[in-house]
């Protein structure tokens, strides 16, 4: 899949979500930070769209549909130069899943969240060697800011499976 093709599909997915906005409140987060494969860092950026939260049955858990468009920059690491999957490819990804919160909006722990998504990638690298990946995120979501640690990996379904772990700061907008 080429970069323009993935970007077009990502833009279409976000546009389709945007079409549902009159029916559901939305939060858009623009996130940036540093991603690491082993101890090698690269810049990363994400745009994440969260729709209205829904309670799960009678429990204290709430979930929000969660869609992301992300980018992780390349790295130039000599030892992987001639490997089947190198490190000099920037990765674009589109992901979708759910963000979970526990408790009520007034509880001190309510801003803490866990998110899980499935992702499709534009390319492959030593860190992300298969087209399909799993995205797991833990973080804190304030009214205008978010902080999170995000791990992207294929769960050992394809080697190599180094994964990417990002530390991100997000700026949020309610729509």
* CATH at 124: 2.40.160.20
Q: For the residues 148-156, what does the mean pLDDT come to?
A: 91
Domain extent, residue 65, equals: 3-174
pTM for the full predicted model: 0.82
**pLDDT for 23:** 54
What domain count does the chain have?
1
**What is the SS3 string spanning the chain?**
CCHHHHHHHHHHHHHHHHHCHHHCCEEEEEEEEEEEECCEEEEEEEEEEEECCEECCCCCEEEEEEEEEEEECCCCCHHHCCCCCCCCCCEEEEEEEEEEEECCCCCCCCCEEEEEEEEEECCCCCCCCCCEEEEEEEEEECCCEEEEEEEEECCCCCCCCCCEEEEEEEEEEEC
Q: pLDDT, tens digit, for every residue of 88-131? A: 788 899 999 999 999 999 999 999 999 999 999 988 877 787 88
């Amino acid at each position: 899949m080429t970069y323009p093709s993935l970007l077009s599909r990502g833009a279409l997915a976000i546009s389709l979500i945007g079409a549902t906005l009159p029916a559901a409140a939305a939060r858009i987060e623009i996130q940036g930070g540093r991603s690491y494969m082993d101890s090698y860092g690269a810049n990363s950026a994400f745009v994440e769209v969260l729709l209205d939260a829904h309670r799960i049955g009678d429990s204290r858990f709430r979930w929000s549909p969660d869609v992301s468009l992300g980018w992780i920059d390349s790295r130039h690491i000599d030892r992987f130069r001639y490997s089947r999957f190198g490190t000099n490819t920037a990765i674009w990804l589109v992901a979708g899943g759910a963000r979970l919160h526990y408790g009520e909006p007034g509880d001190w722990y309510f801003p803490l969240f866990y998110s899980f998504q499935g992702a499709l990638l534009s390319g492959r690298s030593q860190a992300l060697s298969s087209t399909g990946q799993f995205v797991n995120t833990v973080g804190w979501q304030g009214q205008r800011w978010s902080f999170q640690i995000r791990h992207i990996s294929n769960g050992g379904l394809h080697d190599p499976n180094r994964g990417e772990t990002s530390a991100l700061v997000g700026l949020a907008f309610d729509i």
